[in-house]
Structure 1
Amino acid sequence: MSWIFWAILSAVFAAGTALLAKVGVEHIDSNLATAIRTTVVLFFTWAIVLGLNAHRGLPAIERRSWIFLVLSGLCTGLSWLCYFRALQLGPVSGVAPIDKLSVAIVIVFAWLFLGESLTPMKILGASLVTAGALVLAFA
């Protein structure tokens, strides 16, 4: 299966995350809700890793990978904390599109920091995503 299949599944599950989280965070502290969600993710992913014997690759992970994965985890945690607080305060139909501005941001950062190409079509696409997200969030 191609990356497109997995990306579509990711989008479907992300939509489910937003809708379910909006209801789940309704009457509790957003940080507590994030901790509960993160605990579920922790146990779920380790169950998959252990079930597939992927944990055997732990000793082979290089220091550089550890550093970047830890930093990525910190960004994920901060993103989730902010996302859940935004869900608690605002409409899911506004929060989710603004969250998706990360698409445009990652295109620019991938160009700046990873040397990925920034073609006119990518600039147009990022602009459309940005405009669409803002229209959806504030319409």
Structure 2
Amino acid sequence: MWWIYALLAALFAALTAIFAKVGIKGMSADLATAIRTVVILTLAWGIVLYKGEWKDWQQLSRQNMTFLVLSGIATGLSWIFYFKALSLGKVSQVAPVDKLSVALAIVLSIIFLGETPDWKTLTGAALIIVGTFILIL
């Protein structure tokens, strides 16, 4: 089932790029990111409150909080740079280059998490890296 959610994530990421490119026209990329963040914050907390999962916050460890905060900072910086790139470039160039994150995540998962990807995963990562450099040049 994981792959269904991953495909849905990819679909909505693609829609994000299209909607964002139209939405940021004539405005600050930083303001656009802030507006988007408020929408995401509202949606995420709405889901947590609806499902009653807010009660689980007491079970969070210091490690959970530290890495969730670091993840939040990384996400915020990613969005800021992504919207700035979208304000300056074409979606057809920015979105694929942004997906270099997939290959970087694979490399970082090997280094920091000790994961051992198979040859298909490594080949896919290599193709993403090559494709990214082709788009940039």
What corresponds to 1:121 in structure 2? 120
Which amino acid in structure 2 is aligned with residue 12 of structure 1?
L
1:13-28 residue pairs with structure 2 within 5 A? 13-28=12-27
What corresponds to 2:98 in structure 1? 99
What corresponds to 2:9 in structure 1? 10
The alignment status of 1:48 with 2:16, answered yes or no, reads no
Which amino acid in structure 2 is aligned with residue 52 of structure 1?
K
Preserved CA contact (<8 Å) 1:97 1:134:
no
Preserved CA contact (<8 Å) 1:31 1:81:
yes
What corresponds to 2:32 in structure 1? 33
Which amino acid in structure 2 is aligned with residue 28 of structure 1?
M
Taking only aligned residues, the RMSD between alpha carbons, in angstroms, comes to 1.3
Q: CA deviation at 1:131?
A: 2.3
What corresponds to 2:132 in structure 1? 133
List alignment gaps of at least 5 residues for structure 1.
none
Equivalent residue of 1:75, what SS? helix
Please say which of residues 99-108 and 118-127 is displaced more in the overlay.
118-127
Which amino acid in structure 1 is aligned with residue 29 of structure 2?
S
Question: How many residues in Structure 1 have an aligned counterpart in Structure 2?
Answer: 137
Which amino acid in structure 1 is aligned with residue 5 of structure 2?
W
Q: CA deviation at 1:129?
A: 1.7
Q: CA deviation at 1:125?
A: 1.4
Equivalent residue of 1:84, what SS? helix
User: Which aligned runs of 4 or more in structure 1 are off by greater than 6 angstroms?
Assistant: none
Q: CA deviation at 1:138?
A: 4.8
